[in-house]
Structure 1
Amino acid sequence: MLLLMILFCFSNVNMSEKHLHLSSVEFEIFGNVQGVCFRMYTEDQGRSLGLSGWVKNTRQGTVVGEIQGPSDKVEEMKLWLKNVGSPSSRIDRAVFSNQRDVSRLELHGFSTRY
């Protein structure tokens, strides 16, 4: 019984640490991503995953931004940005840069920048 309690406590500690592991990454999405509600869908998806960040159109026709939050959710968002996007978008390429671990969130909430 004592061994089971120790294992249970140990597994909970590992789970807690996993949820506290925070990441930040910048992104740029290429393709048909402007005029197709890509920013709105990105903001909605980021919020639904509990992430913080921002998204913005560029003059070059791409969409850029930054996302921060639990590492597993950041990875999930990266897959969404690379493969899903808004229903009318066409994603040709997703570039992720400056991925790093953070000890605390530097951004709060998810917004569209202009």
Structure 2
Amino acid sequence: MTGVRLTAWVRGRVQGVGFRWWTRARALELGLVGWARNTDDGRVEVVAQGPEESCALLLDLLRSGDTPGRVDGVVERWSETKGGLRGFVER
């Protein structure tokens, strides 16, 4: 797969509010593959792979304030794609 890999850690009130489901829906609309999972420290970790423009759009959506719950901050890391991802799942 060509493109990029975005890993984003989202902090705020993002667990138990439909945030992972919402993220999955946006990622699928953008044609991305990957996953979103709750972390033990209360954040949601999002891994998305696909075209750089689509990943950047997802990152903008995560920061938009139009998400379920409340996002206080997003830290991202960009890297090369890795194989083995199909679809976009909630973990």
Verify the 8 A CA contact 1:39 1:112 in the aligned structure 2.
yes
Distance 1:73 1:47 in 2: 10
Verify the 8 A CA contact 1:85 1:91 in the aligned structure 2.
no
User: More deviation in 42-51 or 77-86?
Assistant: 77-86
Q: In 2 relative to 1, CA 23–78 (structure 1 residues): closer, same or farther, beyond 3 Å?
A: same
Q: TM-score scaled to structure 1, two decimals?
A: 0.72
**Matched position secondary structure for 2:15:** coil
Partner of residue 91 from structure 1, selected from 35, 58, 71: 71
**Displacement after TM superposition at 1:25 (Å):** 1.3
Verify the 8 A CA contact 1:51 1:73 in the aligned structure 2.
yes
Give CA deviations for 1:56-103 in whole Å, capped at 9, x if unaligned: 01121110120000111010001111224533x111000102x1244x
Partner of 2:21: 40
Which entry has the higher C-alpha Rg, 1 or 2?
A: 1
Distance 1:105 1:95 in 2: 23
Q: In 2 relative to 1, CA 35–43 (structure 1 residues): closer, same or farther, beyond 3 Å?
A: same
| Structure number having the greater helix percentage | 1
Give CA deviations for 1:7-62 in whole Å, capped at 9, x if unaligned: xxxxxxxxxxxxx8501011110001011100000000000110001000112111
Partner of 2:38: 57
Q: In 2 relative to 1, CA 41–27 (structure 1 residues): closer, same or farther, beyond 3 Å?
A: same
For structure 1, list consecutive stretches of 5 or more residues without a partner in the other structure. Answer: 1-19
Partner of 1:109: 87
Partner of 2:59: 78
Aligned residues: 91
Q: In 2 relative to 1, CA 85–96 (structure 1 residues): closer, same or farther, beyond 3 Å?
A: farther
Give 2:75's aligned amino acid.
Answer: V
- State percent identity of aligned pairs: 32
